[in-house]
């Protein structure tokens, strides 16, 4: 039986996106040129590249809203994590120009437009994105993943403590957990990311009651790092950041779920 589709409260999601973007904007505004030139730990990006990408990822809502609506929904929150890798080069090229951008101006403009659009765009409007048609409501959910994962990248690159909005973090964790369940469908392993998500995955005997025979448990930050390839499975287990019990509880073969 296919897992139930998770729903997200539109008002809470929009508030979470705005809150997390403000956190990032305030942090970026305080960065020095030396910090901006540092390695972001994401491919070949500098911290400046990362900051530009975050603004582009959030600002892409405005770009899509300015186009004619898509004719049909082709992408949902559930399959979105699997659609970005094929256009990775195009994404990088979209926000890396010949000249550095004025980050203060970029973030101010992006924040103003984001606030405006989230107040007026109907959730069922279909956006014509590079990856296919997607509703505004679903696209806003995916922005929490972009913002939370890249806020964590920023924190790890520079030793910062940019806050993570609780609702944004919860949504990000759930999107990536559901992506795992979609990538490795089944019911033999229970994956727990308290306090935000529990999913079952991996083919095999389905657990119905009592203590599951195969359990994986980790914290939200470790989970999003595993799910996006920032941390490897073996390293996380060795560091005791992941608890894995049962003969089927090795998820190294199905992680990451997006990159």
- Which residue carries 């305030």 as its tokens? 26
- Is 259 a member of any domain? no
Structural domain containing residue 193: 184-245
pLDDT of residue 259: 79
In a domain, 206, yes or no: yes
Shared domain for 37 and 152, answered yes or no, is yes
Distance between CA 139 and CA 141 in Å, rounded? 5
Examine the domain organization and report whether 28 and 84 are in the same domain. yes
CB 217 within 8 A of CB 243: yes
Indicate whether 38 and 156 sit together in one domain. Answer: yes
- Which residues of the chain have a pLDDT value below 50? 1
User: Are residues 161 and 105 located together in one domain of the fold?
Assistant: yes
Domain CATH for 231: 3.30.1050.40
> Residue with structure tokens 């000249």?
99
The region, left, alpha or beta by phi > 0 then psi within -120 to 50, assigned to residue 75 is beta
74 and 105 within one domain: yes
195 and 150 share one domain? no
By the 8 A CB rule, do 144 and 20 touch? yes
In angstroms, the CA 74 to CA 26 distance is 35
Into how many domains does the chain fold?
Answer: 2
Lookup: tokens for 242: 């992941």
The per-residue pLDDT for range 249-259, each reduced to its tens digit, is 999 999 999 97
The per-residue pLDDT for 1 is 43
Q: State how far the Cα of 240 lies from the Cα of 60, in Å rounded to an integer.
A: 38
Please check whether residues 29 and 150 belong to one and the same domain: yes
Together in a domain, 152 and 235: no
The tens digit of pLDDT for each residue in 116-133 reads 999 999 999 999 999 999
Residue recorded with tokens 């033999």: 188
Look at residue 207 in the predicted model and tell me its pLDDT: 59
């Amino acid at each position: 039986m296919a897992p139930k589709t998770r729903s997200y409260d539109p008002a809470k999601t929009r508030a979470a996106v705005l809150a997390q973007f403000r956190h990032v904007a305030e942090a970026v505004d305080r960065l020095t040129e030396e910090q901006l030139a540092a390695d972001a730990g994401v491919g070949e990006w500098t911290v400046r590249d990362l900051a530009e990408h975050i603004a582009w990822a959030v600002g892409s809502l405005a770009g899509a809203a300015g186009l004619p609506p898509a004719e049909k929904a082709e992408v949902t929150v559930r399959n979105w994590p699997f659609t970005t890798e094929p256009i990775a080069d195009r994404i990088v090229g979209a926000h890396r120009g010949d000249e550095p951008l004025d980050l203060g101006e970029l973030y101010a403009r992006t924040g103003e437009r984001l606030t405006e659009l989230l107040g007026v765009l109907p959730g069922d409007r279909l956006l014509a994105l590079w990856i296919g048609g997607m509703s505004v409501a679903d696209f806003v959910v995916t922005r929490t993943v972009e913002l939370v994962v890249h806020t964590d990248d920023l924190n790890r690159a520079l030793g910062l403590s940019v806050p993570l909005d609780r609702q944004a973090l919860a949504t990000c964790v759930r999107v990536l957990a559901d992506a795992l369940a979609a990538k490795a469908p089944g019911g033999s392993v229970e994956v727990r990311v308290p306090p935000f998500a529990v999913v079952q995955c991996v083919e095999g005997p389905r657990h119905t009651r009592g203590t599951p025979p195969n359990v994986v448990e980790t914290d939200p930050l470790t989970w999003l790092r595993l799910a996006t390839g920032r941390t490897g499975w073996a390293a996380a287990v060795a560091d005791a950041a992941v608890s894995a019990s049962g003969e089927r509880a090795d998820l190294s073969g199905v992680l990451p779920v997006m990159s």
